[in-house]
Amino acid sequence: MSIRLRFAPSPTGRLHVGNVRTALMNWLFALREGGQVLLRIDDTDLARSTKEFEQGIEDDLTWLGLKWHERANQSHRFDVYEKAAEGLKAAGLLYPCYETEEELDRKRKIAQATGKPPVYDRAALKLTQAERAKLEAEGRKPHWRFKLSGARKDWVDLVRGPQSIDTASLSDPVLIREDGAFLYTLPSVVDDVEFKITHIVRGEDHVTNSGVQIEIFEALGGEVPAFGHFPLLVGADGSALSKRIGSLGVGELAADGYEPVAILSHLAKIGTSDPVEARLSIDQLAEEFAFEKIGRAPARFDPEELKRVNAAVLHQLGYIAVEPRLAQFGAAKGEAFWSAVRANLVLLPDVKEWVRIVEGPIEPVVADPAFASVAAELLPKGAYDASSWSAFTNAVKEKTGAKGKALFMPLRQALTGMDHGPEMAALFPLIGEERARKRLQGMAA
């Protein structure tokens, strides 16, 4: 069997971390199984869908390294959905209803007040042809409901294990609105059948929908896919994900300087039995992916942990991987600069600060001008290399008697303006003799 999954965003906004996690679960399983992913643009809501957002979704997925195998727009397939709807109507499974939203709300309140479940009473099925004609003559247009069987639908969920939904406890779902617009459910199932989707992997807020969708699959004569429903995201403290973090967009993360693979690593590992650690490729994440590892507790999205993962990614990246991007931050020192500073980065834009510290101007910190003056006189002449720092500090130690922190801290503070940072043996050749002399003399350089 060819494994086929789908990611189905609506082009009514850009992708956020919740969307990306759903996409990633599908891609990781497909990659692990040698399967394919369909990118299905759910743009049946013509009023809210835009081509700009559609392109943004594609751009975000491409930036993240999530490559789809096939693509489809639901807005191009209305004739297919109409045909499916007509078939369901002919089978007596899709029936017209004329109640207004106010009337339905009143029915729900009455049912609840009398201790009954707020399930649609199927009053529309009792209407005669003459009664329907009268309602339509009054200007009412029908919405169309799918007639559930009332049977129990069971499946073994890839994440949650055995699941069961009693469709008798559900209202017959509306599939087509009064204005003729299709709601999500029917187009989604029709597409899953026609594109031969074998696995539907999504958030656990869709569990109840599965019972309805299984019945529609069966009514359309399609094979029911396997379902996997994973827990949703929460904040770092276990509380509901804040709107600010929940809507954190891929574009924002990219602009802040996060690495795509760090985002994927974080989202792939949270909520699983694996430690949340950096991986340098989506292929490695796919190899380690398993539905059995996903816990039942909500996954905690922690921006600080994401930063830690991003830092770990940067610390492992070779110069070739970042060379094209370093120039935008003014880093012209090449591989030596990258090797010196990468272990001190959290986000790639942090290199700007180290460019400033290397090339200046900085305000040197000179607590003991006499000590710094002696050090300035002992600076090696000419170009510096990896051995220059050791030779220089040994000379200062011999001349002043300073050693340990008393030797190294004043030199670091004078040469960088900071009391921490990369190894001075690597920074010293980048700073060079001229700047080093001026800084030890207390001059901005």
Tens-place pLDDT, residues 219-266: 999 999 999 999 998 888 887 766 566 568 899 999 999 999 999 999
Residues 436 and 393 in one domain: yes
Point out the least confidently predicted range of 49-53, 228-232, 248-252, 286-290. 248-252
Token code pair at residue 433: 């003799």
pTM assigned to the model: 0.92
Q: Which amino acid is at 231?
A: P
Confidence category of residue 409, pLDDT binned at 50, 70, 90? very high
Residues 355 and 377 in one domain: no
pLDDT tens for each residue of 68-127: 999 999 999 999 999 999 999 999 999 999 999 999 999 999 989 888 889 999 999 999
Q: Is the pLDDT of residue 22 over 60?
A: yes
What pLDDT score does 234 carry?
86
Per-residue pLDDT, averaged over 21-39, amounts to: 98
Give the integer Cα–Cα distance in Å for 340 and 351: 11
DSSP string, 412-441: HHHHHSSSS-S-HHHHHHHHHHHHHHHHHT
Residues 407 and 350 in one domain: no
Q: Reply yes or no: is the peptide bond before residue 162 cis, omega within 30 of 0.
A: no
Residue 422 CB contacts under 8 Å (≥ 6 apart), including other chains: 340, 341, 343, 344, 354
How many CB atoms within 10 Å of residue 126?
8
Residues 380 and 348 in one domain: no
Q: Is 349 exposed, middle or buried (0-12, 13-18, 19+ CB in 10 A)?
A: middle
Residues 352 and 408 in one domain: no
Which of the listed residues 306, 334, 359 is the one where a domain comes to its end?
359
Residues 350 and 376 in one domain: no
What pLDDT score does 246 carry?
57
Query: Is 121 among the domain residues?
Result: no
What pLDDT score does 367 carry?
93
Confidence category of residue 332, pLDDT binned at 50, 70, 90? low
Query: Is 373 among the domain residues?
Result: yes
What pLDDT score does 265 carry?
98
Residue 283 CB contacts under 8 Å (≥ 6 apart), including other chains: 31
Query: Is 411 among the domain residues?
Result: yes
Query: Is 266 among the domain residues?
Result: no
Residues 340 and 391 in one domain: no
Residues 380 and 353 in one domain: no
**Structural domain that includes position 337:** 319-359
Which of the listed residues 333, 359, 385 is the one where a domain comes to its end?
359
Cα 69 vs. chain centroid, distance in angstroms?
A: 19
Residues 373 and 435 in one domain: yes
Give the integer Cα–Cα distance in Å for 157 and 91: 30
Per-residue pLDDT, averaged over 167-192, amounts to: 96
Q: Give yes or no for a contact between 2 and 70, defined as CB atoms under 8 angstroms apart.
A: no
Query: Is 407 among the domain residues?
Result: yes
Q: Give yes or no for a contact between 66 and 27, defined as CB atoms under 8 angstroms apart.
A: yes
Please tell me the total count of domains within the chain. 2
Query: Is 333 among the domain residues?
Result: yes
Q: Is the pLDDT of residue 172 over 90?
A: yes
Which of the listed residues 295, 328, 359 is the one where a domain comes to its end?
359
Query: Is 395 among the domain residues?
Result: yes
End-to-end CA distance of the chain: 67
Query: Is 58 among the domain residues?
Result: no
H or E stretch including 93?
A: none
Residue in the block written with tokens 């509380």:
239
Q: Give yes or no for a contact between 245 and 303, defined as CB atoms under 8 angstroms apart.
A: yes
Token code pair at residue 114: 């009398």
